[in-house]
Amino acid sequence: MSRSPHTDTAEVGSRSVSRAVIAGIPWPYFLICAALVAAAGVLGEVPDNLVGGFTVCMVFGGFLSWLGNHTPYLKNFGLSAIACTLLPAFLLFAGILPTRVADVMENWTSGYGFIDFFIASLIAGSILSMPRQLLLKVGFRFAVPVVCAVIVSFVLVSLLGGLLGFGVREAVLFIAAPVTGGGIGAGAVPLSQMYATALGGDAGDYLSRLLPSVVIANTVAIFIAGVYNGLSRSRRRLFIGFDGEGRLLRKEVAGDVDQVPPERDSAFFSSMAAGIVVAGTLYFAGLILAHFVPAVHGYAWTILLAALIKIFDLLPEQLEQASDDWYSFVSKSWVPALLVGCSIAYIDVGQLLGSFTDPIYVLLTLAAILIIAGVAGLTGWLCKMYFLEASVTAGLNMADMGSDIPVLSAANRVNLLPFSQMTSRLGGAFVLFLVSALLPLLARL
């Protein structure tokens, strides 16, 4: 009779330990690690540096990820990513998570720039390991669902806002624009400055009105991505071309091109070290170009450079493989840690709860995200992409708070990060351009 995986044992050296692991650590040892981290948190002895941030976020994220992955039924709907993204923020809001620990987590995520390191690693590895023919076939095809989703959402949300008495201008400026703007730093913040210049008033006041819709949209996007993942795991095909299981282009377009790079059994330390250097220097190159052309985000330049390197075959296969090795390690080991850090750094539970006092505001925000998810999926499907993957990368990632990882993790589609980053950065830039063109007209309403 087979034994439960929760009680099986395996030999490690001369000792027998449980096969059940949390964050890669056998559960008895993980509990010791968690207890020590908790004790340091209570005593205020968590160091505010990389060691403290890494340890707290990996232990916290590892536990929540394990819990989500072992919850019957709900585990198929992205509960792991949802728990990592939302629960830490609620624990901080409730006063359960010590402020000192939360500060360390926030500094590690955004203050020390780990999120930039993480995304740069994923961009470099996922693009350089991508089949060259796939990159050539995607081309401008991906821009179609992004642009269509933005335009249709602006039109329909403004009409719905007028019908419900919310106002056409308010619906465009405070619902459609921030939801599709690509997050807070690249979306809500520049939008608030544009509004202050064109309409008068203080940018901070406008920002306070923009943030709730961004937070609501981000939360709903994660839930929708989790539902998509549940449908994918259940093998439900609602129609032909609905689910590509992580592949963006449909078979009739992609042909025999393998859209998901095969996983390697192991990665050598020297190869991973080379992957770090390649990812970091590509990111530096993107920042240099952004210095001279600041209208385009550094991430967007990094994506473009990586794509050009791949298209023109400028790197030896050894370095491409090194980038893939490092990408595989990062994407498999650090996602839960980053999610709990993003929860503390970017989610304001007070704003989120306060926004629910206006039901029309909530309704319009929900309508905006459903519209962009549906339109992106439909237009992507018409462009020979899979509906689910197009809806996530060209739709839901437009409505998240800029990091893209929580939504992709909930959908189990982290390998599509380069496309989602195109949506967040280039799509966000398109939204800013569109709003700047509409502001003179909206100012007269």
Residue 223 has pLDDT above 80, yes or no: yes
The residue with greater pLDDT, 204 or 365, is 365
Residue 257 has pLDDT above 70, yes or no: no
Provide, rounded to the nearest whole percent, the portion of the chain with pLDDT above 70. 88
pLDDT in tens, 95-133: 999 999 999 999 998 888 888 888 788 778 877 877 777
* 372, two tokens: 């962009």
CA distance 130 to 395: 22
pLDDT in tens, 155-210: 999 999 999 999 999 999 999 999 998 776 567 767 887 888 888 887 767 877 88
Task: Tell me whether residue 200 is exposed, middle or buried, using C-beta atoms within 10 angstroms of its C-beta: 0 to 12, 13 to 18, 19 or more.
Answer: exposed
Residue 267 has pLDDT above 60, yes or no: no
Residues 417, 122 contacting (CB under 8 angstroms): yes
* 148, two tokens: 């269509």
Mean pLDDT of 57-80: 85
- Beta strand ranges found along 162-250 (DSSP E): none
Mean pLDDT of 208-228: 86
- In this predicted structure, what is the pLDDT of residue 268? 60
CA 383 to chain centre: 24
How wide is the angle at C-alpha 221 spanned by C-alphas 218 and 227, nearest 5°?
150
pTM for this model (two decimals)? 0.71
CA distance 122 to 261: 13
Categorize the per-residue pLDDT at 403 as very low, low, confident or very high, splitting at 50, 70 and 90: low
Mean pLDDT of 63-68: 91
